[in-house]
Amino acid sequence: MKKILFVSSEVQPLIKTGGLADVAGSLPIALAELEQDVRIIIPKYQALKLDGEVKYRCSLRINNYDINILETRLPGTDVIVWLVDCPEFFDVPGNPYTDEFGSAWANSAARFSLFCRVAVETSQNRAHLDWKADIVHCNDWQSGLVPALLTLESHRPSTVFTIHNMAYQGLFSETDYFDLNLPGQLWNPGALEFHSLLSFIKGGIACADHITTVSPNYALEIQTAEYGYGLEGLLHHRHHELNGIINGIDIDVWNPETDTRIAQNYGIDSLAKKAGNKAALQQHFSLPVEPAIPMIGLIGRLVDQKGIDLVIDCLDSLTNYPIQFVLLGSGEKGFEHRLKNLSYLYPDKVAVSIGYNEDLAHLIEAGADMFLMPSRFEPCGLNQLYSQRYGTLPIVRKTGGLADTVVDALPHNIADKTASGFVFEEASVGAMLETIKRAILLYANKRTWQQLQKNAMRKDFSWRQSAQQYLDLYNTL
Ligand code: ADP
Ligand code: GLC
């Protein structure tokens, strides 16, 4: 049995801004089911949704800050979550990365370097928790200093650094570096220095014993200039210690047969009942309640990564077809405004909900016929997994984890019953529109469509295999 410290800046259902939270809230459970002793550590943000018991465990002092470590459990499980309580940094309104007005925290470097230091102390059994890690599993830049700091220690745990997104790197100035009192030995291009900047993510990439990404395809992509953001050389240099493990999903939370957030439960043998969700979705958005019209859904952060510009540019043409399109998301204000305007222009066809709404996310997964993800890059992507489980066929760009998890409805894939969605290659309005048209055409053929839905719903996206792959990896370190 390994003792694993899982370091993450967000974890569902306590706090979530994106897919990292889904992973941090489900992979540790799967590891615990494989008999591992796994503990999660996250900052104690003001916005945490804590409903279980929270107890005080210990206090420590780092860099002149007084810190308490509190303990709770992942709701509904025995998995221990340690909360790093440093009110100066974390007991403030906002999300992990931005203040309540949406501006990035000015003290991000200080917030997360403190978090990393506490994770190091905890992993080395110096936090009075009577527990020493064998493996520290870090995730994304917010935890990137941990592998770097641990290289300075003897008798240290092994480190794994998982890249969920190369686009966010945690870059700060040299002055920040020295203000943070970080050790001088790590200020070099082999560790935390990146073109005279402090790079948190580089700490993970350069110093962890092993690096993973959240899909095999993305592990290859980030070794190229297009996806590597200047770190492709280092990633390629370390390719023997780099691999991709596809994310699983929480198959209890995302289960159309039992989901309490949808209008009508259904399963692979009762697909007709899915229609109840479509009607509820149409009602929710005040769209005409038409059972036969193809309904396309999209949920996501409204940022460049997700290809939102392509969606906006294609909506005019798309509304020439008999479709309805519903979108739930929040992000860049420019995208939000343009999408809202399109919904005013086409009130019978386009509906937009700006904000973060988990109930509505489930209803869209259940109620739409197709789910659009035209991402410019996508390390793994979870919504295409959820949508396949809900028999809502994804239309995706062939990139990252989307390419690894969706099988295009080409004739031979339809024939051998592997087809589970629609895939296009080029990041262009033309390519996307052609593929949506292809999906609309196939939608008219009810028998084939149902077969595709069943192919998608039968796929195993549970954590079982991927958690085992992480465990196998831990065992090699
Ligand atoms: P990313 O992590 O890049 O945002 P993923 O597809 O991995 O993309 O995960 C996004 C997760 O966040 C999914 O669980 C998705 O349903 C959820 N999500 C994104 N935006 C919203 C929103 N506006 N309301 C509710 N859930 C959202
Ligand atoms: C990131 C990626 C997304 C991935 C998620 C969880 O936010 O953008 O593709 O699914 O992390 O690993």
Burial of 441 (0-12, 13-18, 19+ CB in 10 A): exposed
Establish whether residue 353 lines the binding site of ligand 1, counting it when its CB lies within 6 angstroms of any ligand atom. no
Phi and psi, residue 41, nearest 5°: -125, 130
Residue 67 scores a pLDDT above 90: yes
Q: What is the pTM of this model?
A: 0.96
Q: What percent of the chain has pLDDT over 70?
A: 100
Domain boundaries, the chain: 3-248+463-476, 271-457
Q: Which of 23, 95, 165, when mutated, tests ligand 2's pocket best, judged by the most ligand atoms within 8 Å of its CB?
A: 165
**Which amino acid, 8?**
S
pLDDT band for position 307 (cuts 50, 70, 90)? very high
One-character DSSP codes across 106-147: TTHHHHHHHHHHHHHHHHTT-SSSS---SEEEEESGGGTHHH
Assign domain 271-457 to a CATH class. Answer: alpha beta
| pLDDT tens digits along 338-378 | 999 999 999 999 999 999 999 999 999 999 999 999 999 99
Asked if residues 347 and 378 have their Cβ atoms less than 8 Å apart, the reply is: no
Ligand 1 atom 17, closest CA:
18
Of 87-91, 101-105, 186-190, 445-449, the one with minimum mean pLDDT is 101-105
Whole-number pLDDT of residue 102: 86
Q: Count other Cβ atoms within 10 Å, centred on residue 311.
A: 25
In the reported structure, the alpha carbon of residue 59 is separated from the centroid of ligand 1 by a whole-number distance in angstroms of: 34
pLDDT band for position 210 (cuts 50, 70, 90)? very high
- The superfamily (CATH) of domain 3-248+463-476 is Glycogen Phosphorylase B; (3.40.50.2000)
Whole-number pLDDT of residue 211: 98
Asked if residues 163 and 245 have their Cβ atoms less than 8 Å apart, the reply is: no
pLDDT band for position 429 (cuts 50, 70, 90)? very high
Q: Which atom of ligand 1 is nearest to the CA of 301?
A: 20
* Strand order from edge to edge, sheet including 197-199: 171-172, 197-199, 193-194
Comparing C-alpha atoms, which of 292, 318, 276, 274 is closest to residue 453?
A: 274
The average pLDDT across 218-226 equals: 98
Whole-number pLDDT of residue 324: 98
Q: Which of 218, 246, 299, 363, when mutated, tests ligand 1's pocket best, judged by the most ligand atoms within 8 Å of its CB?
A: 299
3-state secondary structure of 393: strand
- Distance, CA of 167 to CA of 306 (rounded, Å): 12
Please tell me if the domain spanning 3-248+463-476 has the same topology as the one spanning 271-457: yes
- Distance, CA of 367 to CA of 192 (rounded, Å): 46
Rounded to the nearest 10 degrees, the angle between the axes of helix 333-345 and helix 308-318 is 10
In the reported structure, the alpha carbon of residue 369 is separated from the centroid of ligand 1 by a whole-number distance in angstroms of: 19
b/e code 132-144 from CB counts within 10 Å (16+ = b)? ebbbbbbbbbbbb
Whole-number pLDDT of residue 409: 98
Comparing C-alpha atoms, which of 19, 23, 25 is closest to residue 49?
A: 25
